[in-house]
């Protein structure tokens, strides 16, 4: 029986034999007398901002293994290297097993990877497709192929299990949040910092927005504050609340290298002992921005008239000089200067799919999705007039105060669902929003299989799995 001699096979030779054999192998390869080991396809996927989230059921061969013995690998050059990842455990009821905070929870599987746990990594860390020889030393391994549905470009990562002594975890930590005893929450992403320094009673009310400059420092605070205001009618009684009358806190969280998952506790007093609450609502912090899937429990039936609504907006500081606004409904950039004019009065105020504000320091992209019955009568919020105050004020007036007005008229007593997305980019350029919006409009497709397996990803034998889970 003939055996092919390849450079891959030379890795097993000890001592002086290895350089001599490599030299011989190189000479034979040059002469074309032996076949060269075939390299797998290179990574071609271009998207970098997207996260990949796969449930354990989509990586079936690794179920039941200890999480502490799992590593995620990607091909870098000719070597497999560990990359940043996390596995967020969930309880049998589907709640996240928060490890920090006042409302921590534990999974019941003793630290094993189970069907509803979530494997999370960033597509930017994927690599090329490894050949079988590069995987043969691993005890157990699953290949995960990530595909961009828009152009079919691909990247690969490998979830590996080790019996003992797994390699060190990657030292990369993309995102973090921190708290202090006074209620200050600081969110550090890629090229930006947010905090609630001027609204310590509300964990998610942004009063500081700073972008990183080219010299690595952070520029001035460009935010007055995020603003919320609710006005609804119940038995003809007007009920008006603003952000200072909300109780918002982070009940518990998971702080991993790829994302932070936080339990968002929201309460707004309504009337006569009724509270509007957001049960089991979450915030996912990534290095590019945040996602807030929210469940709004409306405790009463809202009157059919007059019009009821809730507004969520970001009011800038007058320091945001040279900033502009545009959206899918208003695509031409509009200068923000704190002064009303005819063009601002003629904006399309119908509900936008997304809005952008940007300037020399960076840009902010926002999108809001929710139940269709709410969306149909909702609209854009836009006020750029420093003479119009919008309490609570840290800096007087409305400077590029933009966002969304959600129509609540006639809503019935039940739970409504929605998600608020915010993306931040230093050195933003017009059109940069496209690469962020596609994270959810065209989510990546991740498929797991045993290396070399010919079975399709949806095979029922349990050897492979597929996930197209957007968000989170």
Say which range, 36-40, 82-86, 246-250, has the weakest mean pLDDT: 36-40
Q: Assess whether pLDDT exceeds 90 at residue 322.
A: yes
Q: Assess whether pLDDT exceeds 80 at residue 248.
A: no
Q: Assess whether pLDDT exceeds 70 at residue 279.
A: no
Say which range, 81-95, 268-282, 289-303, has the weakest mean pLDDT: 268-282
Q: Assess whether pLDDT exceeds 80 at residue 262.
A: yes
Q: Assess whether pLDDT exceeds 90 at residue 104.
A: no
| Under 8 Å between Cβ of 414 and 346 | no
d(CA 423, CA 438): 12
| Under 8 Å between Cβ of 276 and 295 | no
Give yes or no for a cis peptide into 302 (omega within 30° of 0): no
Give yes or no for a cis peptide into 162 (omega within 30° of 0): no
Q: In the prediction, which pLDDT does 342 show?
A: 97
Q: pLDDT digit string (tens) for 353-410? A: 999 999 999 999 999 998 777 777 899 999 999 999 998 899 999 999 999 999 989 9
Q: pLDDT digit string (tens) for 421-458? A: 999 999 999 999 999 999 999 999 999 999 976 444 44
The alpha carbons of the chain give a radius of gyration, in whole angstroms, of 26
Q: Assess whether pLDDT exceeds 80 at residue 415.
A: yes
d(CA 240, CA 308): 10
| Max intra-chain CA distance, the chain | 91
How does DSSP classify residue 317?
P
Closest by CA to 392, choosing from 204, 197, 228, is 228
d(CA 40, CA 132): 9
Q: Write down the mean pLDDT value for the chain.
A: 86
Query: Cα–chain-centroid distance for residue 129?
Result: 25
Please give the structure tokens belonging to residue 321: 């000089």
Banded model confidence at residue 26, pLDDT cuts 50, 70, 90? very low
Q: Determine what percent of the chain falls in helix, strand and coil, rounding each to the nearest 5.
A: 10, 40, 50
Q: Assess whether pLDDT exceeds 50 at residue 12.
A: no
Q: pLDDT digit string (tens) for 140-165? A: 999 999 999 999 999 999 999 999 99
Say which range, 48-57, 251-260, 461-470, has the weakest mean pLDDT: 461-470
Q: Assess whether pLDDT exceeds 60 at residue 16.
A: no
Banded model confidence at residue 471, pLDDT cuts 50, 70, 90? low
Give the mean model confidence (pLDDT) for residues 53-72: 97
Q: What percent of the chain has pLDDT over 90?
A: 64
Banded model confidence at residue 343, pLDDT cuts 50, 70, 90? very high
More confident residue, 461 or 21: 21
Give the mean model confidence (pLDDT) for residues 267-289: 80
d(CA 45, CA 292): 27
Please give the structure tokens belonging to residue 432: 């940069």
Give the mean model confidence (pLDDT) for residues 214-229: 95
| Under 8 Å between Cβ of 353 and 367 | yes
Q: In the prediction, which pLDDT does 182 show?
A: 85
More confident residue, 241 or 261: 261
Query: Residue with structure tokens 């549905």?
Result: 149
Q: In the prediction, which pLDDT does 250 show?
A: 84
Q: In the prediction, which pLDDT does 3 show?
A: 29
Say which range, 39-48, 205-214, 330-339, 451-460, has the weakest mean pLDDT: 451-460
Please give the structure tokens belonging to residue 163: 């019996």
Helix (H, G, I), strand (E, B) or coil at 84: coil
Banded model confidence at residue 206, pLDDT cuts 50, 70, 90? very high
* 224 class by beta-carbon count within 10 Å (0-12 exposed, 13-18 middle, 19+ buried): buried
């Amino acid at each position: 029986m003939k055996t092919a001699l390849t450079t891959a096979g030379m890795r097993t030779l000890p001592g002086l034999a290895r350089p001599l054999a490599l030299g011989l192998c190189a000479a034979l390869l040059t002469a074309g007398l032996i076949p060269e080991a075939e390299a797998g396809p290179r990574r071609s996927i271009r998207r970098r901002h997207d996260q990949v989230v796969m449930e354990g059921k989509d990586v079936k061969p690794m179920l039941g293994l200890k999480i502490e013995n799992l590593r995620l690998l990607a091909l870098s050059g000719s070597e497999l290297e560990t990359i940043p990842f996390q596995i967020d455990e969930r309880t049998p009821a589907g709640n996240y097993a928060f490890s920090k905070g006042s409302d921590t929870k534990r999974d019941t599987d003793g630290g094993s990877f189970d069907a509803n746990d979530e494997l999370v990594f960033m597509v930017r860390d994927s690599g090329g497709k490894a050949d079988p020889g590069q995987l043969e030393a691993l005890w157990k391994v699953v290949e995960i192929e990530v595909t961009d549905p828009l152009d079919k470009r691909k990247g690969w990562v490998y979830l590996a299990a080790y019996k003992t002594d797994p390699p060190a975890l990657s030292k990369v930590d993309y995102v973090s949040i921190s708290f202090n005893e006074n209620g200050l929450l600081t969110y550090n992403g890629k090229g930006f910092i947010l905090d609630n320094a001027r609204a310590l009673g509300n964990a998610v009310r942004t009063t500081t927005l700073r972008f990183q400059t080219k010299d690595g420092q952070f520029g001035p605070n460009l935010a007055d504050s995020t603003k919320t205001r609710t006005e609804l009618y119940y038995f003809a009684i007007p009920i008006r609340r603003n952000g200072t009358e909300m109780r918002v806190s982070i009940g518990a969280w998971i702080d991993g290298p790829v994302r932070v998952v936080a339990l968002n506790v929201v309460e707004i007093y309504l009337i006569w002992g009724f509270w509007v609450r957001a049960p089991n609502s979450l915030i996912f912090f990534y290095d590019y921005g945040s996602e807030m899937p929210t469940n709004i429990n409306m405790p009463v039936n809202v009157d059919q008239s007059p019009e009821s609504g809730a507004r969520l907006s970001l009011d800038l500081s007058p320091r945001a000089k040279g900033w502009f606004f545009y959206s899918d409904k208003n695509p031409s950039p509009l200068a923000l200067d704190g002064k009303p004019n005819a063009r601002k009065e003629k904006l399309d105020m119908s509900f936008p799919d997304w809005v952008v504000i940007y300037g020399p320091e960076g840009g902010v992209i926002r999108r809001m999705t929710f139940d269709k019955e709410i969306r149909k009568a909702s609209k854009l919020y836009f006020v750029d007039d420093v003479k119009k105050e919008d309490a609570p004020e840290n800096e007087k007036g409305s400077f590029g105060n933009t966002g969304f007005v959600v129509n609540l008229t006639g809503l019935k007593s039940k739970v409504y669902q929605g998600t608020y997305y915010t993306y931040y980019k230093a050195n933003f350029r017009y059109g940069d929003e496209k690469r962020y919006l596609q994270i959810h409009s065209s989510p990546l497709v991740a498929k797991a299989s045993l290396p070399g397996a010919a079975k399709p990803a949806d095979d029922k034998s349990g050897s492979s799995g597929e996930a197209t889970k957007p968000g989170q």
